[in-house]
Amino acid sequence: MKKCKSGTLSKNSEPVRRSFHIPETFVPYSEKVASPLAELNYDNAALDFVRFREDALDDTIAAIVAEVVASGDPHVFRQSLVDGDTDLLTTFARRRIVAAHRTLSHDALMSAFDAYALLPVLSDVELGAWFKGGLLVARASELDRDVLFERFADIAPPLSVELAGVIFKSTDRLDHFSQCFLVETSTSHGAGLLNTAVARDDLLAPDMTATWGGAPEPQPFRSGYTTAGAIASLAATLADAFDALEGHVTDPIRHDQLVASSFDIVTGGSFLRSRACVGFFVNGPDGLDFSVVVADIDANLTRLTAVELAEVADSIVDQAATAHESVLVLLTVVPNFDDLFGGADTADAEDFDDDDDDDDDVNEDPLGHYLPMIDALLTAEQ
């Protein structure tokens, strides 16, 4: 019988008055025009940059971006953007960068940077990852970066131009996607990119190791780049296999981490270190939703091999796990809180508590039947 998963639980000064210039094209809020992007949305599959697939919406957004750029007046467009539009433009830019990485297309790269220039602001995370990665693709495609920057500067707001200028000047020091928190992948869908940046890369949380007298290790949760591409490609194969099953739909592949409590392990933090770790969610039949995590295990980091970790994880209720050599695959049920708490009155709860006979009907291993398929795929891939 599987065991239950354990719980885891300045100086004062006068304010500085700054003057600013209101552009001649400024449109008061009450007179804002409707955003041309307001009714556009990518579906889930378009957010997967590992299993990158063509999407007709790319052409639609590219035409809108080109029209705005050609108008020579991007200010009104920026002010028309509504909630979600900046995310849409960011996704479009990332997709154009992946497309350019595949085809070395100058047009795709130009439209990506045009989209970035139309954003009201560029985040540090986007600049340090996809924007910088786009410049590596520009070098590979022999696109003149000076021309690219001049075009960007003509469209973007001043702050974005200032921030982007620093990135453009540093591109000569860029040699590999790993410097951009990106990993190249190769799947049956073609070339792709995996973003491995996580919040801890911006501001690392304190490591409990320091509390025990040890020295905290910098950035302990970042994926390794030597194996992350292969692990992401393997995850893509698994995701495609789940998609092929009737009633199953997968979410985009993402950078992930191994939750220590999934293995009943108490550590100095919430996660186990791995050489690489990616995951995706599966919406299964009859409301069975679960996560799939694929990791490359270094026993020197975890003190347990992939096989040993799989054995422990597989013994926990609502989990299934298997391993081949150093690769671990972990499946975990995603709780449906609506079913757990939605609408159950006190009488129902009492009936549930008193009904001991139902214990035999509880499926303690709802995911185990997927393991033979996973084992076969791992054997074929390795």
Report the run of H or E that residue 29 belongs to, with start and end. none
Neighbouring residues of 293: CB distance < 8 A, sequence distance ≥ 6: 256, 258, 277, 278, 279, 328, 329, 330, 331, 332
Which of 159, 179, 199 corresponds to the end of one domain?
179
Task: Give me the residue label for tokens 């939750």.
Answer: 259
Mean per-residue pLDDT over the chain, rounded: 82
Reference 262, options 2, 5, 3; nearest CA is: 5
CA angle 227, 185, 176 (to 5 degrees): 75
Position 360 scores a pLDDT of 53
In a domain, 129, yes or no: yes
Which amino acid is present at 260? A
Structure tokens, 100: 């350019």
258 with 119, same domain: the answer is: no
30-34, 210-214, 311-315 — which is least confidently predicted? 210-214
What's the CA gap between 137 and 98, in Å, rounded?
9
31-35, 100-104, 271-275, 295-299 — which is least confidently predicted? 31-35
235 with 363, same domain: the answer is: yes
238 with 172, same domain: the answer is: no
In a domain, 327, yes or no: yes
In a domain, 14, yes or no: no
Position 5 scores a pLDDT of 61
pLDDT at residue 268 tops 80: no
- What does pTM read for this prediction? 0.80
Backbone angles phi and psi of 324, in degrees to 5: -130, 120
In a domain, 1, yes or no: no
Residue 338: give the domain boundaries: 221-381
Kindly report, residue by residue over 279-336, the tens digit of the pLDDT. Answer: 999 999 988 999 999 999 999 988 899 999 999 999 999 999 999 999 999 999 998 7
What's the CA gap between 79 and 76, in Å, rounded?
5
Across 23-35, average pLDDT: 53
101 with 40, same domain: the answer is: yes
In a domain, 49, yes or no: yes
Kindly report, residue by residue over 253-262, the tens digit of the pLDDT. Answer: 999 999 999 9
265 with 164, same domain: the answer is: no
pLDDT at residue 166 tops 90: yes
In a domain, 195, yes or no: no
227 with 370, same domain: the answer is: yes
Reference 40, options 16, 56, 21, 23; nearest CA is: 56
Which of 179, 196, 231 corresponds to the end of one domain?
179
| 125 compared with 90, residue with greater pLDDT | 90
226 with 373, same domain: the answer is: yes
139 with 58, same domain: the answer is: yes
Which amino acid is present at 56? A
339 with 270, same domain: the answer is: yes
Across 106-110, average pLDDT: 97
How many domains in the chain?
Answer: 2
Question: What is the number of other CB atoms lying within 10 angstroms of the CB of residue 297?
Answer: 26
| 227 compared with 316, residue with greater pLDDT | 316
In a domain, 214, yes or no: no
Portion of the chain with pLDDT greater than 90, in percent: 65
160 with 238, same domain: the answer is: no
Across 224-252, average pLDDT: 91
Across 37-43, average pLDDT: 92
In a domain, 169, yes or no: yes
Which of 179, 201, 231 corresponds to the end of one domain?
179
352 with 268, same domain: the answer is: yes
pLDDT at residue 359 tops 70: no
Position 86 scores a pLDDT of 95
Across 350-355, average pLDDT: 48
Position 226 scores a pLDDT of 60
226 with 369, same domain: the answer is: yes
pLDDT at residue 341 tops 80: no
What's the CA gap between 358 and 361, in Å, rounded?
5
